[in-house]
């Protein structure tokens, strides 16, 4: 059973559900999904005030939520999965504490969805898809208390880890179409500036795939009453 944790923000709830639907449609194996919704996270109090979404720090709770055992996947809610998640799962490496796509870019926009600041910083977007080795001893530092009091820079730059413990995933597993443009080979699309559910990002590169997935997520077969 693949454990998947997905960021949930009620301001864009539809993004979470579309992401889950894409996982269901693409996966060939069983998986479980846990939404990282703040009201569900007993024992953790969000003390940060600089987040652009409600799961910006709770993602680092995944090893704790997994009882520091086994592996898990975290992904932001503003994503669409285009490939069998088993293929990402197969990239696990026991010598690493985490595996991420190591983006190196400067953003096109200084403001993203809902007016949130969008600043450049080292290792930007590395933490938006994480293949977590929850059992790795180095990740035991990630207690709720540590996360509550750590800065964004400490967490999103993985400063509790030696660099050798941060493995690398192919960029296709965290492709940013709104920053990089369209990529038909992408396995996971991430609209980091704003999910296409927001009007100003509805026409972003590859957004038509998100809109199609939303239609599929809302689909229900109807009885012919004619």
**pLDDT tens-digit profile of 80-97?**
999 999 999 999 999 999
Is 118 exposed, middle or buried, given 0-12, 13-18 or 19+ CB atoms closer than 10 A? middle
Q: Could you count the other beta carbons within 10 Å of the beta carbon of residue 143?
A: 16
Q: How far is 182 from 12, CA to CA, in rounded Å?
A: 23
Is pLDDT at 136 greater than 70 in this prediction? yes
Record the tokens describing residue 207, joined without a space.
């957004």
Question: Where are the domains positioned within the chain?
Answer: 2-217
Under 8 Å between Cβ of 54 and 9: yes
pLDDT in tens, 15-29: 999 999 999 999 999
Q: Please check the confidence at residue 47 and state whether its pLDDT lies above 70.
A: yes
The count of C-alpha atoms lying within 13 angstroms of the C-alpha of 88, restricted to the half-sphere facing its C-beta, is 34
- pLDDT computed for residue 54 by the predictor: 81
Select from 220, 100, 105 the least CA-distant residue to 168.
100
Band of residue 110 on the pLDDT scale cut at 50, 70, 90:
confident
pLDDT over 90 at 205, yes or no? yes
Does residue 133 carry a pLDDT above 90? yes
The 8-class DSSP code of residue 85 comes to H
- What pLDDT score was predicted for residue 114? 59
Which pLDDT score, from 0 to 100, does residue 42 have?
85
d(CA 55, CA 142): 15
How much is the mean pLDDT over the chain? 93
Domain 2-217 coded CATH 3.90.550.10: yes
pLDDT value at residue 17: 98
Over residues 166-186, mean pLDDT: 98
């Amino acid at each position: 059973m693949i454990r998947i944790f997905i960021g949930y923000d009620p301001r864009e709830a539809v993004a979470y559900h579309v992401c889950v639907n894409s996982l269901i449609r693409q996966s060939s194996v069983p998986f479980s999904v846990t939404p990282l919704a703040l009201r569900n996270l007993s024992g953790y109090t969000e003390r940060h005030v600089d987040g652009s979404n409600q799961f910006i720090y709770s993602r680092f709770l995944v090893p704790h939520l997994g009882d520091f055992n086994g592996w898990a996947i975290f992904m932001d809610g503003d994503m669409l999965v285009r490939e069998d998640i088993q293929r990402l799962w197969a990239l696990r490496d026991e010598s690493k504490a985490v595996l991420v796509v190591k983006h190196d870019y400067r953003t096109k926009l200084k403001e993203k969805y809902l007016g949130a600041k969008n600043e450049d910083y080292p290792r930007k977007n590395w933490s938006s898809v994480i293949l977590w080795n929850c059992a790795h001893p180095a990740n035991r530092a990630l207690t709720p208390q540590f996360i509550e009091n750590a800065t964004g820079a400490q967490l999103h730059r993985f400063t509790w880890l030696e660099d050798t413990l941060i493995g690398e995933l192919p960029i296709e597993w965290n492709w940013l179409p709104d920053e990089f443009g369209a990529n038909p080979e992408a396995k996971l699309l991430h609209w980091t500036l704003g999910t296409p559910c927001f009007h100003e990002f509805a026409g972003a590169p590859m957004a038509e795939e998100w809109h199609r997935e939303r239609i599929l997520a809302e689909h229900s077969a109807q009885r012919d009453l004619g």
